[in-house]
């Protein structure tokens, strides 16, 4: 159902910013307002009054009933979808010379859709909706934290499965299959990013995936999962070694663990995102890994797997002040040693007035059986 409180707060901010309407084209904000998802989430939120949904003719009755919104423009062909949006814009403009429409301008907004929209609506000034939505979404309500908590349990089910399945001779892809299956069985609705099972030198990659590579004795293996539960994400990463670690692998792992702990120690309402980085960086530097440190160890999480602050994508976000009721991770950066591999340990936290609550509080052994 439409969340009227969230709608009201968004509309207040829209009017403050001089935005006449928000054209929703992405899943996250559609779920945020309407509590459910569509494959093609399309809606127009005016600065005053109720949203207008744009949906397929076969889904009209159900959409109206489940969202509780009366004004749905339906299309029978996909081309008509654009015409519907243009039509609504014309109605809203009335006789006005121009209007200002906010759009999310991030990874999930396709470049060509935006170009198409601007070409079809030459009198519309398009602006980034981030100043409206980022601030709202950054502070989570209790319902949102409950969903992230549930997603965190699902993430843990995935990582525990990885620890059971990682043996020499199996492949990254086979382990990935078991992880995704375990997370689905635990109630998850798929993943926000592909599961990483990065083994051997691949563990040092900045990002990853699963490949047909076999797991070998002596491999460092980074397993990173971001399952969704009803749209909300949790992020958990653990590093394993297959059989006894070398001295260097052990040193990398212990350093990362202490760096993450220092970051968590620094995490409290009132600090800035970069303070978490500084705390971790000091540990890496003291252990001789300072040059290899990739900044941006902590990011926000919610309906997007990286949302404000997301300093590795938008460096200025490192200045964002962390506040009560935020959900953030610590452990995003990889410690990558060329020729050896990499280590990451990442957890998801709920920031309360008393400090951080670790939602992915599962401690697992670094060393796995090589037999």
Handedness of CA 165, 166, 169, 170 (dihedral sign): positive
Q: Over the Cα atoms of the chain, what is R_g? A: 23
Q: Which is nearer to its own copies, 274 or 350 (CB)?
A: 274
Q: What is the DSSP letter of 243?
A: S
Shortest Å, Cβ 163 to its own copies = 18
Shortest Å, Cβ 337 to its own copies = 8
Shortest Å, Cβ 49 to its own copies = 27
Maximum CA pair distance of the chain? 75
Shortest Å, Cβ 79 to its own copies = 5
Q: Which is nearer to its own copies, 291 or 353 (CB)?
A: 291
Q: Name beta bridge partners: 302.
A: none
Kind of pairing, strands 21-24 and 99-103?
parallel
Q: Which is nearer to its own copies, 194 or 243 (CB)?
A: 194
130 class by beta-carbon count within 10 Å (0-12 exposed, 13-18 middle, 19+ buried): middle
| Chain centroid to CA 22 | 21
- Is the preceding omega at residue 228 within 30 degrees of 0, hence cis? no
Q: Which is nearer to its own copies, 11 or 281 (CB)?
A: 281
The residue with tokens 């620890």 is 163
The whole-angstrom separation of Cα 28 and Cα 32 is 6
Among 123, 126, 120, which Cα is nearest to 98's?
Answer: 123
Shortest Å, Cβ 214 to its own copies = 14
Shortest Å, Cβ 341 to its own copies = 9
Shortest Å, Cβ 362 to its own copies = 21
List residues near its own copies by CB under 8 A: 37-40, 56-62, 76-79, 105-115, 173-174, 176-177, 180-181, 184-185, 187, 189-190, 194, 201-202, 204-211, 294-296, 312-313, 315, 334, 336-339, 342
Q: Which is nearer to its own copies, 222 or 351 (CB)?
A: 222
The whole-angstrom separation of Cα 140 and Cα 143 is 8
Among 92, 94, 103, 89, which Cα is nearest to 48's?
Answer: 92
Q: Which is nearer to its own copies, 98 or 115 (CB)?
A: 115
Q: Which is nearer to its own copies, 108 or 246 (CB)?
A: 108
Give yes or no for a contact between 46 and 89, defined as CB atoms under 8 angstroms apart.
no
């Amino acid at each position: 159902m439409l969340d009227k409180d969230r709608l009201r707060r968004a509309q207040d901010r829209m009017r403050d910013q001089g935005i006449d309407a928000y054209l929703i084209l992405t899943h996250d904000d559609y779920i945020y307002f309407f509590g459910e998802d569509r494959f093609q989430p399309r809606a127009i939120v005016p600065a005053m009054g109720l949203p207008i949904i744009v949906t397929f003719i076969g889904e009209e009755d159900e959409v109206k009933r489940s969202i509780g919104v009366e004004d749905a423009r339906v299309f029978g062909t996909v081309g008509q979808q654009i015409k519907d949006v243009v039509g609504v814009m014309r109605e809203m403009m009335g006789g006005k010379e121009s209007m200002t429409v906010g759009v999310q301008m991030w990874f999930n907004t396709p470049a060509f859709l935006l170009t198409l929209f601007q070409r079809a609506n030459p009198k519309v000034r398009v602006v980034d909706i981030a100043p409206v939505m980022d601030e709202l979404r950054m502070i989570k309500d209790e319902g949102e934290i409950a969903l992230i908590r549930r997603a965190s349990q699902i993430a843990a089910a995935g990582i525990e499965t990885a620890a059971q399945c990682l043996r020499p001779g199996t492949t990254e892809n086979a382990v990935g299959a078991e992880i995704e299956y375990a997370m689905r069985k635990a109630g998850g609705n798929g993943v926000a990013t592909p599961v990483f099972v990065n083994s051997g030198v691949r563990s040092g990659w900045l990002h990853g995936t699963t490949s047909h590579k076999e797991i070998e004795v002596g491999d460092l293996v980074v397993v990173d999962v971001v399952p969704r539960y009803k749209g909300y994400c949790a992020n958990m990463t653990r590093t394993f070694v297959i059989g006894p670690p070398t001295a260097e692998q052990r040193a990398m792992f212990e350093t990362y663990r202490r760096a993450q702990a220092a970051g968590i120690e620094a995490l409290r309402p009132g600090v800035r995102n970069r303070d978490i980085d500084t705390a971790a960086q000091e540990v890496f530097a003291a252990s001789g890994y300072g040059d290899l440190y990739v900044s941006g160890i902590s990011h926000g999480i919610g309906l997007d797997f990286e949302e404000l602050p997301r300093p590795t994508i938008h460096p200025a976000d490192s200045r964002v002040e962390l506040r009560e009721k935020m959900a953030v991770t610590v452990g995003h950066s990889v410690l990558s040693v060329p020729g050896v591999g990499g280590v990451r340990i990442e957890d998801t936290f709920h920031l309360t007035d008393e400090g951080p609550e670790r939602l992915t509080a599962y401690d697992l052994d670094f060393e796995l059986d090589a037999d």
